[in-house]
């Protein structure tokens, strides 16, 4: 029972640290786990009147937590040191735990001092410098996953406030899936800048050749330099994906090595069976030595279990989840309790089955968006959407709110000589900008079947209050002829949005009666011209979240007029995207 409590404590504390964005040394984390588990056992001791034994006597080596990977420079040093060893590799330490005490290290908050294993993937936060794209190469609009350390920015609502999706059992699982979806956006955004292609561009480990390449790029004209930078970023991203995915086949390589080991050279197995043969343990050690990993006994055990698990996942049919896996996913796998009712492979396979189609849609939308599909016509290529929504492509737009009549725009320009209130000034939103870590969640908005005839709008990631979900499409009008069924009143007299002739993804959201329950609002945002002193002539009607929204929950706005509520209550109108022709 003590071992069960220790394992459960390790899992829950690791989940808590990951959700809160806390990165700590393995030594200190194990100490926290041991103290917490000891406190629980002592409490049980008091309740049971001495029938149980405190867990403080348990060995720290039995704590099943993820190992702290080595710093890349230490890894390189060890690798060079190992290559100079004489004699064959021995496996005398495979049957017992490592007795050598580890030296204590000072904790540091600097990311460059976090230990990293050679050859590990970028996605799990343990990649080597050669596998990582430089921060400067990422578009300024995009935050990398490692930058999302604030628990508020992760936008994982408290499961006590709203029920979790059926396929997720905890807020930590939702955090893991969210980081995978964000990783998908970032990588496909980087790759789309250059395109899906192979290249014979620079790929070298020679430092002098790297310097020459930088000098060559510095001599290019602007267009050539941008092309080269995009190419290098895309190829580095592709290489990072390849390196990470390679880990899914490490285990069969280790098994091949195990078949070559003479059983006579192996020590006799000690302790309870753990599902691995002595040959597999010896082969794991040799593989880690040959590829530059630290080979401490606990590190071997952790990687042995992890590599076998992700190989089993791949064999079971998990693909997209492994392709975009993150450090949060790896932490979840390493801390997953063997006593859980659902085996780890089955749980991840369930995630794969639930999210595969959403990831594929996300890949397509991001790729097309970055290559010019600012109106996001890719929504209409989804078969489930096509069956339930009949909208001509010219009437579909998710990019902007244009003026319907040039004369009305000119009148407004002349009338608006005074500065617009700063309360309604908006943040510029480029047609090709993609955010995967900030408050812009527009990339994750999707259309899902509500029934056999209609759709509803939802997000595949958690939404936080104040998040930007996209644009409510329509044309800007300055007219007294307000349309009560298709009109959204603006912040100025006779200024309103008309969505009778154009529609978009967020226009399909569910509605409530005026003053009814809603989780989003429509906000008018003003934009100046290139010169901030020019009169404001551009508007955007943004959809902003007014509360936390869980994944796959319907997005709902309150209508301003009863006539508009009746318009959206008709399945026939929904079929045609609520365009005016639906009412004629």
pLDDT tens digits, 169-186 = 888 999 999 999 999 998
Residue 153 CA to residue 449 CA, distance in Å, equals 29
- Residues 431-437, mean pLDDT to the nearest whole number: 41
CB distance 104 to 25 below 8 Å: no
DSSP 541: E
When the pLDDT of each residue in the chain is averaged and rounded to a whole number, the result is: 78
Check pLDDT > 90 for residue 480.
yes
Check pLDDT > 80 for residue 253.
yes
CB distance 521 to 425 below 8 Å: no
Crossing angle for the helix pair 327-334 and 297-316, nearest 10 degrees? 110
Q: How confident is the model at residue 418 (pLDDT cuts 50, 70, 90)?
A: low
DSSP 267: P
Q: Give residue 330's pLDDT.
A: 95
Measured CA to CA in angstroms, residue 439 lies from 142, 264, 358, 363, 551 at distances of: 11, 60, 20, 20, 15
Measured CA to CA in angstroms, residue 14 lies from 10, 107, 544 at distances of: 6, 18, 33
Q: Give residue 417's pLDDT.
A: 52
Q: Give residue 234's pLDDT.
A: 79
Whether the pTM exceeds 0.75: the reply is no
Establish if 562 belongs to a structural domain.
yes
| Torsion sign over Cα 130, 178, 151, 19 | negative
Range of the domain at 55: 1-65
Last residue of a domain, one of 38, 65, 92: 65
Check pLDDT > 50 for residue 4.
yes
Q: What's the CATH number where 402 sits?
A: 2.170.270.10
Q: Give residue 101's pLDDT.
A: 53
Pick from 206-210, 348-352, 482-486, 527-531: least confident: 527-531
Q: Give residue 435's pLDDT.
A: 42
Bridge partner residues of 446 (DSSP): 458
- Residues 21-31, mean pLDDT to the nearest whole number: 69
Name which residue leads in pLDDT, 2 or 167. 167
- Residues 40-53, mean pLDDT to the nearest whole number: 66
Nearest in space to 332 (alpha carbons), one of 160, 119, 131, 178: 178
489: helix, coil or strand?
Answer: strand
Domain count, the chain: 2
Last residue of a domain, one of 65, 89, 113: 65
Establish if 71 belongs to a structural domain.
no
Establish if 107 belongs to a structural domain.
no
Check pLDDT > 60 for residue 373.
yes
- Residues 128-157, mean pLDDT to the nearest whole number: 37
Q: Which two tokens stand for residue 477?
A: 């009008």
Pick from 130-144, 353-367, 473-487: least confident: 130-144
Establish if 84 belongs to a structural domain.
no
Q: Give residue 529's pLDDT.
A: 57
Establish if 19 belongs to a structural domain.
yes
Establish if 151 belongs to a structural domain.
no
Establish if 109 belongs to a structural domain.
no
Residue 416 CA to residue 285 CA, distance in Å, equals 73
Last residue of a domain, one of 65, 91, 115: 65
Establish if 157 belongs to a structural domain.
no
Q: Give residue 150's pLDDT.
A: 40
pLDDT tens digits, 265-318 = 998 888 788 889 999 999 999 999 999 888 888 999 999 999 999 999 999 999
Measured CA to CA in angstroms, residue 495 lies from 384, 479, 480, 499 at distances of: 36, 7, 8, 13
Name which residue leads in pLDDT, 534 or 136. 534
């Amino acid at each position: 029972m003590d071992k069960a409590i220790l394992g459960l404590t390790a899992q829950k504390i690791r989940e808590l640290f990951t959700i809160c964005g806390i990165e700590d040394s393995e030594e200190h984390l194990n100490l926290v786990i041991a103290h917490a588990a000891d406190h629980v056992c002592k409490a049980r001791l008091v309740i049971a009147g001495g029938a149980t034994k405190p867990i403080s006597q348990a060995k720290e080596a039995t704590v099943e937590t993820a190992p702290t990977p080595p710093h890349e420079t230490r890894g390189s040093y060890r690798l060079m040191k190992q290559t100079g060893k004489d004699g064959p590799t021995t496996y005398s330490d495979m049957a017992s735990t490592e007795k050598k005490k580890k030296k204590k290290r000072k904790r540091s908050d600097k990311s460059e001092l976090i230990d990293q294993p050679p050859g590990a993937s970028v996605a799990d936060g343990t990649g080597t410098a050669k596998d990582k794209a430089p921060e400067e190469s990422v578009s300024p609009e995009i935050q990398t996953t490692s930058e999302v350390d604030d628990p508020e920015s992760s936008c994982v609502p408290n499961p006590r406030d709203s029920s979790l999706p059926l396929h997720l059992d905890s807020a930590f699982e939702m955090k893991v899936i969210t980081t995978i979806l964000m990783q998908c956006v970032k990588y496909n955004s980087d790759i789309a800048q250059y395109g899906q292609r192979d290249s014979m561009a620079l790929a070298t480990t020679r430092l002098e050749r790297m310097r020459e390449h930088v000098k060559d790029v510095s001599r290019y004209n602007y267009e050539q330099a941008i092309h080269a930078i995009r190419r290098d970023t895309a190829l580095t991203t592709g290489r990072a994906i390849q390196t990470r995915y390679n880990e899914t086949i490490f285990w069969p390589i280790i098994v091949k090595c195990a078949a070559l080991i003479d059983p006579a050279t192996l020590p006799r197995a000690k302790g309870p069976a753990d599902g691995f043969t002595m040959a597999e343990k010896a082969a794991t050690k040799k593989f880690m030595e040959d590829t530059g990993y630290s080979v401490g006994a606990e590190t071997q055990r952790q990687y042995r279990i992890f590599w076998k698990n992700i190989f089993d996942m791949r064999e079971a049919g998990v693909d997209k989840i492994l392709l975009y896996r993150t450090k949060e996913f790896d932490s979840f796998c390493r801390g997953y309790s063997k006593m859980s009712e659902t085996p780890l492979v089955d749980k991840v396979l369930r995630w794969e089955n639930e999210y595969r189609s959403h990831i594929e849609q996300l890949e397509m939308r991001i790729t097309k968006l970055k290559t010019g599909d600012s109106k996001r016509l890719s929504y209409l290529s989804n078969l489930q959407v096509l069956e339930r929504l009949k909208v001509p492509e010219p009437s579909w737009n998710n990019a902007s709110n244009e003026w319907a009549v040039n004369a009305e725009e000119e009148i407004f320009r002349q009338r608006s000589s005074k500065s617009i209130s700063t309360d309604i000034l908006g943040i510029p939103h480029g047609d090709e900008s993609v955010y995967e870590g900030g408050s812009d969640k527009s990339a994750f908005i999707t259309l899902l079947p509500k029934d056999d005839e209609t759709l509803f709008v939802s997000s595949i990631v958690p939404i936080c209050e104040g998040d930007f979900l996209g644009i409510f499409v329509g044309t800007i009008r300055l007219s007294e002829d307000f349309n009560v069924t298709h009109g959204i009143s603006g912040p100025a007299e006779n200024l309103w949005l008309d969505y009778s002739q154009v529609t978009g993804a967020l226009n399909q959201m569910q509605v409530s009666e005026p003053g009814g329950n809603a989780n989003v609002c429509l906000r008018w945002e003003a934009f100046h011209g290139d010169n901030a002193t020019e009169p404001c002539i551009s508007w955007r009607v943004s959809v902003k979240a007014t509360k936390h929204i869980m994944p796959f929950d319907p997005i709902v706005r309150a209508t301003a007029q009863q006539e508009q509520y009746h318009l959206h209550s008709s399945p026939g109108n929904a079929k045609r995207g609520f365009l005016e022709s639906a009412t004629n």
